[in-house]
Amino acid sequence: MTENELATIAVDISYKLHTTLGPGLLESVYEAAFCYELEKRNVPYTRQQAIPVNYEGIVLDIGFRADIIMDDKLIVEIKSIEHLEKVHHKIVLTYLKLTSIKLAILVNFNVNLIKEGIYRKIYGQLI
């Protein structure tokens, strides 16, 4: 599957979860349900994958973790907070840079309409 096909699946799953569960749950609940939906659709993924930082040839394992990486092509970062800040967008862009993945979806489930909580991030594009 292409990055765009995976992004379409991620948005569809986000819509389904938000419609079914609503806003206000813990991020871990949305993440677990998201992974369940990926399994039902036979989409390969990793959950809470460590993202190391390479600094001058030294690998620093400092705790960066991507919530979900779909088929090694799309990062899905899940939030359930009152307001996304610029730093949340920057963190996702940093994950893209560190992994060399080109596309990410940042989803905040704590919104009235899920379309207000979904952001597409492309490697190399600043907010």
Ordered by where they begin, the domains of the chain are 3-122 (3.40.960)
How many Cβ atoms from other residues are within 10 Å of residue 62's Cβ? 10
Q: What is the pLDDT of residue 112?
A: 95
Q: Where are the beta strands (DSSP E) in 1-127?
A: 45-50, 53-55, 58-60, 65-70, 74-79, 103-108, 118-122
Q: What is the pLDDT of residue 62?
A: 77
Q: What is the pLDDT of residue 59?
A: 86
Q: What pTM value is reported for the model?
A: 0.92
Q: What is the pLDDT of residue 36?
A: 98
At 55, list the tokens: 């600094």
Residues of the chain with pLDDT under 50: 127
pLDDT tens column, 19-40:
999 999 999 999 999 999 999 9
